[in-house]
């Protein structure tokens, strides 16, 4: 498993460089595809990257944006990742992008999986994916100890799976490991000395223990303290 690790002097430099790299990746993909797909995480860490990326001059009308994972809550819920995207990425020039949701108005995710996966299937492989990583080595909603962890890591995994993990207050829906790993360009964003040490300590661990290892090959890891 080989990946590129870039350590930045500060977070501002990381944000600017990562946004520029992702913009270049998207522009290159648009040079030979009618439409391209960009998958990004929720949470607070990628917000500043979105603030830069949304203003990039490219043909956003040909870009499909989706989350790598989402909590199974309505868009107006405070824990919805979709709200963050609409506030910080799907604005400015990027307002022309098409959003592919990972939530539908249903009590549980299982009944909506096929309908949500259908438009994503048409856009695979993903052109660019941005991932985060938790201190427990999860990425997207592929958590150690999750109920469908083995299925999510399988080479034969479907596009989407519902996931329930210890400590998570609601079900989640996630792109599976083969979909994430199949992206043409993969970027991982991590901050802080603890996560750098955790990532370095994950070398050699099986993905069942360190799900991030299922998507790291040929990725670029962007780190700042």
Contacts of 188 by beta carbon, 8 Å cutoff, 6+ apart:
3, 130, 131, 132, 133, 139, 212, 215, 216, 219, 220, 221, 222
The proportion of the chain whose per-residue pLDDT surpasses 90, expressed as a percent, equals 94
pLDDT at site 1: 72
What range does the domain containing 148 cover?
4-223
Dihedrals φ, ψ of 203, to 5°?
-55, 130
Domain of 152: which CATH number? 3.40.50.1360
- pLDDT tens figures, 96-127: 999 999 999 999 999 999 999 999 999 999 99
- Residue 152 in tokens: 């999510």
Secondary structure (3-state) at 197: helix
Look at residue 138 and tell me whether its pLDDT is greater than 90. yes
pLDDT at site 43: 87
pLDDT band at 131 (very low <50, low <70, confident <90, very high): very high
pLDDT band at 38 (very low <50, low <70, confident <90, very high): very high
Contacts of 94 by beta carbon, 8 Å cutoff, 6+ apart:
53, 54, 55, 56, 60, 63, 65
- pLDDT tens figures, 172-182: 999 999 999 99
Look at residue 171 and tell me whether its pLDDT is greater than 80. yes
Average pLDDT over residues 141-148: 96
pLDDT at site 168: 81
pLDDT band at 29 (very low <50, low <70, confident <90, very high): very high
In this structure, what DSSP letter does residue 154 have?
A: S
Look at the chain and report how many structural domains it folds into: 1
Average pLDDT over residues 135-148: 97
The proportion of the chain whose per-residue pLDDT surpasses 70, expressed as a percent, equals 100
pLDDT at site 174: 98
């Amino acid at each position: 498993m080989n990946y590129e690790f870039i350590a930045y002097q500060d977070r501002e430099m990381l944000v600017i460089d990562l946004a520029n790299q992702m913009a270049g990746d998207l522009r290159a993909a648009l040079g030979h595809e009618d439409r391209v797909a960009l998958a990004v995480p929720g949470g607070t860490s990628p917000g500043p990257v979105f603030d830069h990326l949304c203003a990039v001059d490219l043909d956003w009308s040909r870009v499909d944006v989706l989350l790598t994972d989402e909590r199974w809550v309505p868009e107006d819920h405070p824990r919805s990742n979709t709200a963050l995207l609409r506030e910080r990425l799907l604005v400015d020039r990027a307002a022309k992008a098409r959003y592919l949701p990972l939530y539908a108005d249903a009590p549980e995710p299982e009944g909506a999986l096929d309908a949500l996966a259908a438009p994503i299937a048409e856009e695979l492989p993903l052109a660019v994916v941005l991932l985060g990583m938790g201190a427990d080595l999860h990425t997207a909603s592929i958590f150690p100890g999750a109920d469908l962890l083995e299925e999510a890591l399988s080479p034969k995994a479907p596009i989407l799976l519902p996931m329930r993990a210890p400590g998570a207050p609601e079900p989640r829906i996630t792109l599976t490991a083969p979909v994430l790993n199949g992206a043409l360009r993969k970027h991982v964003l991590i901050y802080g000395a603890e996560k750098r040490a955790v990532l370095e300590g994950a070398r050699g661990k099986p993905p069942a223990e360190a799900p991030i290892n299922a998507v790291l090959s040929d990725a670029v890891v962007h780190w700042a303290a």
